[in-house]
Amino acid sequence: MREKVEKALGKVRPMLEADGGNVELVEVTADGVVKLKLKGSCSCCPMSSMTLKAGIERIIKQEVPEVKEVIAI
């Protein structure tokens, strides 16, 4: 499942990089929780929680239906 999540993140990264940010996949748990670390300008952006849930999580769940939740650590 980790490879599928990485592939989905590949679709998100260009948008994050355009704003000076990025995302790092830290862990994919057996129960379908994806743990990400927001980097660059995304790590301190006041909109990062919206980006995580409305953007990144939505795309990952579309690409990898086994994912239950995406969280930032």
pLDDT digits (tens, 9 = 90+) for 2-36: 999 999 999 999 989 998 999 999 999 999 999 99
Here the tokens at position 30 are 């057996």
Q: What's the whole-number average pLDDT of the chain?
A: 92
Per-residue pLDDT tens digits for 28-69: 999 999 999 999 988 888 888 888 888 899 999 999 999 999
pTM given for the model: 0.90
Q: Is 70 helix (H, G, I), strand (E, B) or coil?
A: strand
What values do phi and psi take at 16, rounded to 5?
-70, -45
**Answer CATH for 2-72 from 3.30.300.130, 3.40.50.720, 3.90.580.10, 3.40.1710.10:** 3.30.300.130
